[in-house]
């Protein structure tokens, strides 16, 4: 089918910027805005829903919501400390909400008055964050919500000409904001679009195509997620011919592909995940705080994504005063400690072609071909079986952070290891040295003990 606004390529991008993004594997997502102040509580009541949806769910009048801006004083905000959290996590990139659905902007935008520049500090926190993260070698990406609950020209659907005219003005406004972001922060490495699922956006696939084109022209190498895109017929992420739009698939939100779904590895993709069950912005209620993930669950997800060639973007919800939530910093630190020992099985690694999903964890493979066994679900038997691809044998095993590890052969390419995990240090990772199988057992001399 002939498409004007479909995918720009059939195969994954292989330029240096894309390879860099792909090799990162671990990213830090940040949701921070006015919703971080009430943090899921309004008029003394916890609203058990994602904190960033509070104005809609609690039906807060617009004026009252906007009045929160005067309390956004940044009393405890320090971009350097946030960037230190990313280092502690072992994140190689960070993606921050420049504007979420409520329309509030973290940079002093010339196209609206609803921005950080009009809060008491008047600071350009986005600029401070870009500088602090980049100083630590961490790439910065911008999240931008196309959906805008506040803008008078936003439309969910286009019912008549008046709607279409209004929405055309809205798209012009959003384009100008994106041009502004590209101009003010030219070192940004990627754009992460959200809020593009409404009929109004789907009817304007040309605009999503134009945004991608504009960003790529202004910022060479910039990486754009698939969620931005709709084609001529309103197909999203993947065009009407089945080709991925944008540079990587970004549909995995608070869920991961099945670990045996190896087809996923043919594309670049990223999954994003909350630390509590279901809030992206900081939620102070016990509902959210009781559901924080365990660091080893996070490690499991990182390994899961890596094993299928995807990146994992772990979300943080800093508090209204600008400080990071201590529980989230604690989780980040544990995950980062694990990565500092076991990162060679994650960074720059991906799908291990030919190795079946083992059940007790994941196989990953480095760019140079080294295969790792990441044991996130050690069996109570204390033994794991390693089924190697046919024709391959195990020649040596190294436990990361330790040393050589014993193993025994059960059959041709089937091996077994006894493992002793330790909850304090987390999932064990084994580097596997392989060789060609010398001679399959079917070709060996018969064993006299089993002859009758
Ligand atoms: O509604 C948003 C939500 O608040 C959050 O930003 C997530 C992050 O992926 N995206 C949307 C839901 O798809």
* Distance from residue 116's CA to the centre of ligand 1 (Å): 21
**Residue 243 phi/psi, 5° resolution?**
-95, 145
Q: What is the mean pLDDT of residues 188-192?
A: 98
Closest by alpha carbon to 388, among 374, 373, 405? 373
Q: How far is the CA of 147 from the centre of ligand 1 (A)?
A: 11
End-to-end CA distance of the chain: 67
Average pLDDT taken over every residue of the chain? 96
| pLDDT score of 255 more than 70 | yes
Q: Which atom of ligand 1 is nearest to the CA of 254?
A: 9
SS3 content of the chain, % helix, strand, coil (to 5): 35, 20, 45
Residues 27-64: tens digit of each pLDDT: 999 999 999 999 999 999 999 999 999 999 999 999 99
Of 253, 255, 281, 314, which is best to mutate to test ligand 1, by the most ligand atoms within 8 angstroms of its C-beta?
253
- Grouping H, G, I as helix, E, B as strand and the rest as coil, residue 282 is coil
Q: How far does the centroid of ligand 1 lie from the alpha carbon of residue 444, in Å?
A: 59
pLDDT exceeds cutoff 90 at 445:
no
Q: What is the pLDDT of residues 118-127, one digit of tens each?
A: 999 999 999 9
Tens of pLDDT, residues 210-247? 999 999 999 999 999 999 999 999 999 999 999 999 99
Percentage with pLDDT > 70 across the chain: 97
Ligand 1 atom, smallest distance to 197 CA? 13
Counting from 1 in the atom list of ligand 1, the atom nearest the Cα of 31 is 6
How confident is the model at residue 440, as a pLDDT?
58
> Would you state the pLDDT for residue 451?
39
pTM of the model: 0.96
Q: Distance from the CA of 193 to the center of ligand 1, in angstroms?
A: 10
Q: What is the pLDDT of residue 406?
A: 98
The SS3 assignment for 351 reads: coil
CA 52 to ligand 1: nearest atom:
4
User: Is the Cα torsion angle 281, 285, 287, 288 positive or negative in sign?
Assistant: positive
Neighbours of 4 (CB within 10 A): 9
Q: What is the spatial distance between Cα 434 and Cα 371, in angstroms, rounded to a whole number?
A: 9
Euclidean distance between CA atoms 405 and 400, whole angstroms: 10
Ligand 1 atom closest to the CA of 50, numbered from 1: 4
* Torsion angle of C-alpha atoms 220, 222, 227, 232, degrees rounded to 10: 10
What is the pLDDT, as a whole number, of residue 276?
97
* 443 confidence band (pLDDT: 50, 70, 90): low
CA distances from 204 to 172, 191, 247 (A): 12, 19, 20
How many Cα neighbours within 13 Å face the side chain of 212? 24
User: 362 - beta bridge partners?
Assistant: 374
Check pLDDT > 50 for residue 163.
yes
pLDDT surpassing 90 at residue 414:
yes
Residue minimizing CA distance to atom 1 of ligand 1: 195
Atom of ligand 1 nearest to the CA of 147: 1
Asked if residue 26 lies in contact with residue 90, where contact means CB atoms within 8 angstroms, the answer is yes
194 CA → ligand 1 middle, Å = 7
Enter the DSSP assignment of 450: G
Q: How far is the CA of 66 from the centre of ligand 1 (A)?
A: 21
Report yes or no: 414 and 386 within 8 Å, Cβ to Cβ: yes
Nearest CA to ligand 1 atom 6: 280
CA 267 to ligand 1 centroid distance, Å: 22
C-alpha distances in Å from residue 92, one per residue of 21, 30, 89, 200, 337:
9, 14, 9, 35, 14
Q: What span, in angstroms and rounded, lies between the C-alpha atoms of 88 and 429?
A: 20
Q: What is the mean pLDDT of residues 134-138?
A: 98
Residue 246's CB: how many other CB atoms inside 10 A? 23
Cα 135 to averaged position of ligand 1 atoms, centre (Å): 28
- What number is the average pLDDT over the span 324-341? 98
Task: Flag the least confident range among 90-94, 333-337, 424-428.
Answer: 424-428
Q: Please, are residues 355 and 378 in contact by the beta-carbon 8 Å criterion? A: no
How far apart are the C-alpha atoms of 122 and 320, rounded to whole Å? 15
Give the residue-averaged pLDDT of 294-312.
98
Domains by residue range for the chain, with CATH: 16-343 (3.20.20.80), 350-436 (2.60.40.1180)
In this structure, what token pair is assigned to residue 106? 């973290």
Average pLDDT over residues 252-279: 97
Indicate which residue's Cα is closest to atom 9 of ligand 1. 253
In the structure, which protein residues have their CB atom closer than 6 angstroms to any atom of ligand 1? 50, 52, 194, 253, 272, 280
Please name the residues in contact with 201: beta carbons below 8 A apart, sequence gap of 6 or more: 146, 147, 207, 208, 230
What is the position in ligand 1's atom list of the atom closest to the CA of 97?
Answer: 6
- When pLDDT is cut at 50, 70 and 90, the band that residue 442 belongs to is low
In the predicted model, what is the mean pLDDT of residues 191-203?
A: 98
Please tell me the distance between residue 331's alpha carbon and the centre of ligand 1 in angstroms.
21
Looking at ligand 1, which atom is closest to the CA of residue 145? Answer: 6
Give distance in angstroms: CA of 155 to centre of ligand 1: 18
Q: How confident is the model at residue 438 (pLDDT cuts 50, 70, 90)?
A: confident
Q: Looking at residue 423, what is its pLDDT?
A: 85
Q: What's the chain's Rg over C-alpha atoms?
A: 24
Q: Work out the average pLDDT over 152-166.
A: 98
Question: How many whole angstroms from 240 Cα to the centroid of ligand 1?
Answer: 24
- Residue 448 banded pLDDT, cuts 50, 70, 90: very low
Residue 386 confidence (pLDDT) above 60 = yes
Output the residue whose Cα is nearest ligand 1's atom 5: 280
* Ligand 1 pocket mutation pick from 31, 141, 280, 317 by most atoms within 8 angstroms of CB: 280
Look at ligand 1, atom 3, and give the residue with the nearest C-alpha.
Answer: 280
């Amino acid at each position: 089918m002939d498409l004007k606004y479909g995918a720009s390529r059939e195969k994954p991008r292989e330029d240096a910027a894309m390879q860099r993004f792909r090799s990162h594997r671990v990213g830090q997502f940040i949701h921070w805005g006015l919703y971080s102040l009430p943090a899921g509580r309004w008029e003394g009541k916890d609203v058990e829903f994602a904190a960033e949806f509070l104005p809609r769910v609690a039906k807060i009048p617009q004026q009252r919501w906007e009045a929160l801006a005067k309390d956004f004083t940044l009393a405890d905000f320090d971009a350097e400390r946030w960037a230190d959290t990313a280092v502690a996590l072992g994140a190689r990139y960070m993606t921050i909400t420049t504007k979420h659905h409520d329309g509030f902007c973290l940079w002093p935008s010339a196209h609206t008055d609803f921005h950080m520049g009009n809060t008491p500090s008047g600071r350009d926190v986005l600029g401070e964050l870009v500088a602090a993260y980049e100083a630590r070698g961490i790439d910065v990406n911008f999240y931008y919500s196309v959906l805008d609950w506040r803008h008078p020209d936003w439309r969910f659907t286009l019912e008549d000409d008046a709607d279409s005219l209004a929405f055309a003005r809205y798209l012009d406004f959003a384009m100008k904001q994106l041009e502004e972001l590209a101009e003010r922060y030219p070192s940004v490495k990627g754009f992460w679009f959200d809020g593009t699922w409404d009929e109004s956006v789907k009817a304007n696939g040309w605009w999503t195509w134009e945004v991608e084109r504009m960003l790529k022209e202004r910022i060479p190498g910039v990486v754009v997620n698939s969620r931005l895109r709709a084609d001529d017929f309103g197909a999203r992420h993947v065009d009407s011919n089945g080709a991925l739009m944008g540079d990587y698939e970004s549909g995995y939100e608070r869920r991961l592909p099945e670990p045996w779904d190896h087809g996923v590895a043919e594309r670049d993709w990223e999954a994003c995940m909350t630390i509590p069950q279901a809030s992206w912005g900081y939620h102070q209620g016990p509902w959210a705080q009781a559901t924080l993930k365990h660091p080893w669950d996070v490690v499991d997800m990182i390994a899961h994504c890596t094993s299928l060639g995807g990146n994992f973007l772990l979300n943080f919800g800093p508090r209204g005063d600008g400080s990071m939530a201590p529980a989230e910093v604690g989780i980040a630190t544990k995950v980062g400690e694990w990565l500092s020992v076991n990162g060679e099985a994650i960074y720059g690694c991906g799908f291990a072609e030919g190795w079946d999903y083992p059940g007790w964890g994941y196989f990953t493979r480095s760019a140079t071909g080294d295969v790792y066994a990441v044991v996130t679900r050690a069996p109570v038997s204390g033994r794991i079986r390693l089924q190697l691809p046919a024709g391959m044998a195990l020649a040596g095993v190294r436990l990361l952070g330790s040393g050589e590890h014993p193993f025994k052969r059960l059959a041709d390419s089937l091996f077994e290891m006894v493992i002793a995990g330790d909850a304090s240090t987390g999932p064990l990772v084994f580097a596997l040295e392989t060789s060609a199988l010398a001679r399959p057992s079917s070709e060996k001399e018969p064993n006299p003990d089993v002859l009758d």
